Structures are given as structure tokens and as C-alpha cells.
Amino acid sequence: MAYLSIARCGSYERREVEQAVNKCLRELGGLERFISAGQRVLVKPNLLAADPPEKGTDTHPEVVRAVLKEILAIGAQPIVGDSPGLGSLSRVAEKAGIACICRELKVPLGAFNQEVQVRTAPEGKILKSFPLVKEMTEVDAVINLPRVKTHGLTRLTGAVKNLFGCVAGLHKGELHFRLQRADVFQEMLIDLALTVKPVLTIVDGVMAMEGAGPRNGRQRFMGLILAGENLFSVDAVIARLVGLKPSEVPLLALAAKRGINGIKESEIELKGEKIEEFMIRDFEVPPSSAKIDLHVPDWVIRLFRRYLSPYPVIRENCQQCLVCLEACPAKVIACSQGKIEIDDRHCIRCYCCQEFCPHNAIELKTSFWGRFL
């Protein structure tokens, strides 16, 4: 049985967040159940891009503060870090309001600029090893701090997807390019979760992001902090909160197929508040391309992905900032005569361009056949 806890949190007001995080931890038996005094603990928020807290892109700084205070209170030594997809950690953390909390609490921000090959957990299926940031191998435990958001490729980004930020710098783009099938990419994320194995996940679910997440969606009030040890159970609960069955989230469907425990409702015991009070039934979640990839042979994917999976389209409000050119692992975006163009024939449908566009100028459209399937 996987034990999770939910605490109500009506705003990002400091005291309210601290009380909610503390309540969640107490329901799980206290933070001492997961880490002990003297241990080095890597706190891994979602630091996707250099946006201010009001935009809802990154884990909110008050949630990071509350967790750091809990860790310091039991005498452990936290370090904060993530490997953002674009830009340096220091710049992203500064803009996200997390660097100043680290300074206030005298908690170091990791450098996250060196990599180490780490052997994949024995249950892994896709890769033999991962190029992870060096800090991962220097700590005794990892505490995962995702935010509830939608994602073009995985539908939702929560506990498991947040760990993709442990993969060092440019290797993230390389993995997108090597593992072009959406289902294989998500199997890799499962391997990564089993390898990093955080001792605890604490989710920022105060304001969730729906629609064109993880950076350009709409913020939606959910009003909770969620915590648990089993990453897959945490994501299964997030799925229920946004009105999906775990089987409708490809990553969870693949994990269940592997026999990973804690995904079915009967395998999860929720403590604290009742989940029904926080469920948002009309939460807007993108369609899934992995659903199309599942059980379909490689040659069919290669031939027809272009017609079946959602495809990125540049909108009129493009500011020609060229961020998408840098983000595209397949290098199929070009700027010609002041216009951004995507070579659709060679687009691998990874949606990194949409994920990182700072101006919400890339839309994912689904073709008639994609909708039909």
C-alpha cells in the first residue's frame, strides 16, 4: 500500500504554505521517516525556465522555502538544484524567486554543470545508464518538488517527469532525439525515476497549470499540497485530481504494464483531506501522442507520425526571439527572412519548442486523422 497525504493550501501566503507542508509531512509520520540529521539532501524543484513566480512555470518559491525549513529543522543539509532545459540554473533560480530564498536560509544552490554516468536501476528497460548531474551522486537523498502542470508530450508533468531535470544539460535534447517514439521516451522516464529514486515527493498543487503547459498554459486554482513516497502513486493521484484515469496518462499506463505498484486506486491510501474536494473535472489536458505510439510498429510511426501526432504551428504573435531554434533537438526550425519556419517532414514531435517558447507563440494542432484515432 502506498501512503500519500493531501493538505489544503488556499494561497502562496508563507504561513499557509508552511502549515500545509508541515501537515502533509506529519500525516506521513514526519520528515524523519525519510531523511535524518546530518544527511545531504538534494531538493529538486521544477525550474523549467526563467519566469517570475506569478507565471506558474516553476515550483513556487514559498513551497521550496517551507520544505527547506523542514529539512533544516531536523538537522539535515539541503542543497537546491535542477538542470533547466534552457539557460543556467543561477539565472532561472534567480528569476523564479528561489535563489533569494537559498541566500536567506543559507542553503547552497548546486552548480549542476558537471555530469556523471549513473547505471540504470536493475528494473530499467531502455537505457543502460544516464548522464546525470554530478550533485545527484554526492547526496544521501533526493526530495522531489514538482508542480501540477500539463505537457504536450506526456499530458501531465508531475513527480516522474520532474526528474528529467536530473539529466545533465544538453543530454535532455539528445534523449529526445534518440528516443523519438513517445512511448519509448516515457519508458525512459520510468527508468530514470527508478534510478533517481527520490525518498519523498512534495507537490506544489496550489495553482496548477492547464492547457498549453508546462510554460504557456493557464493557471487554475487547485488549493493543495500533496506528498508521498511512491512517485507513481503521486502521479496517479494528480491524474485523478485533473479528471483523468491513470490509464489515460501514457506514462502511468506503461508503468502499470511493467507491474509497478501503487497506481491503482486500491493500492493507495490517502491521508489528510479528501481528494474529492480538490478534483477539477473540466481541467484542460492535451491529447496524447504516446497513446498513438503504443503497440504500433516502428515503421508505422516513422511513416505516419507526421499525420497522427499533434504538430507545432507558429502563431502570429511570434517575437522572433529564436528560443525555439535553440530548444529544438532535431534542428528543424529556421528563421528565414524574419519568419520562423518548421520543417514538418523532419519534426520529431517532441514539443520542446512549445515547451520553451517564452511568448506562447507555438500551438500544438491535431490533424483530422490524429483526432479520429
Task: Classify 273 as helix, strand or coil.
Answer: coil
Give the C-alpha separation, 77 to 66, whole Å.
15
Give the C-alpha separation, 317 to 232, whole Å.
38
Least separation in angstroms between residue 191's CB and ligand SF4 is 21
136 vs 348 by CB, closer to ligand SF4: 348
Least separation in angstroms between residue 205's CB and ligand SF4 is 28
Identify the residue among 54, 75, 319, 365 touching ligand SF4 (CB under 6 A).
Answer: 319
Contact between residue 19 and residue 12 where contact means Cβ atoms under 8 Å apart: no
Site for ligand SF4 in 283-312 (CB under 6 A): 312
Identify the residue among 322, 336, 367, 368 touching ligand SF4 (CB under 6 A).
Answer: 322
Calculate the alpha carbon distances from 352 to 250, 296, 328, 355 in Å: 18, 23, 6, 5
Using CB under 6 A as the binding rule, whether residue 342 contacts ligand SF4 is answered as: yes
Neighbouring-strand partners of residue 302:
none
The window from 107-115, 217-225, 302-310, 326-334 that contacts ligand SF4 (CB under 6 A) reads: 326-334
133 vs 353 by CB, closer to ligand SF4: 353
Identify the residue among 111, 318, 366, 367 touching ligand SF4 (CB under 6 A).
Answer: 318
Calculate the alpha carbon distances from 214 to 178, 308, 351 in Å: 22, 22, 11
Give the C-alpha separation, 293 to 296, whole Å.
5
The window from 120-128, 154-162, 222-230, 353-361 that contacts ligand SF4 (CB under 6 A) reads: 353-361
Using CB under 6 A as the binding rule, whether residue 49 contacts ligand SF4 is answered as: no
Task: Classify 184 as helix, strand or coil.
Answer: helix
The window from 100-108, 262-270, 286-294, 357-365 that contacts ligand SF4 (CB under 6 A) reads: 357-365
Least separation in angstroms between residue 195's CB and ligand SF4 is 25
Give the C-alpha separation, 285 to 143, whole Å.
26
291 vs 359 by CB, closer to ligand SF4: 359
Instruction: Check whether the bond before 214 is cis (ω within 30° of 0).
Output: yes
Cβ atoms within 10 Å of 95's Cβ, excluding its own: 19
The window from 43-51, 199-207, 245-253, 344-352 that contacts ligand SF4 (CB under 6 A) reads: 344-352
Give the C-alpha separation, 99 to 87, whole Å.
15
Angle at 309 between CA 307 and CA 313, to 5 degrees: 85
Identify the residue among 359, 363, 367, 373 touching ligand SF4 (CB under 6 A).
Answer: 359
Size of the site for ligand SF4 (CB under 6 A): 27
Least separation in angstroms between residue 168's CB and ligand SF4 is 19
Using CB under 6 A as the binding rule, whether residue 367 contacts ligand SF4 is answered as: no
Give the C-alpha separation, 101 to 57, whole Å.
17
Least separation in angstroms between residue 8's CB and ligand SF4 is 37
175 vs 202 by CB, closer to ligand SF4: 175
Give the C-alpha separation, 52 to 360, whole Å.
15
Using CB under 6 A as the binding rule, whether residue 6 contacts ligand SF4 is answered as: no
Give the C-alpha separation, 333 to 19, whole Å.
46
Neighbouring-strand partners of residue 143:
43, 200
260 vs 327 by CB, closer to ligand SF4: 327
Contact between residue 97 and residue 50 where contact means Cβ atoms under 8 Å apart: no
Least separation in angstroms between residue 49's CB and ligand SF4 is 11
The window from 60-68, 109-117, 206-214, 330-338 that contacts ligand SF4 (CB under 6 A) reads: 330-338
Residues that bind ligand SF4 (CB under 6 A): 312, 314, 318-324, 327-328, 330, 332-333, 340, 342, 347-353, 357, 359, 361-362
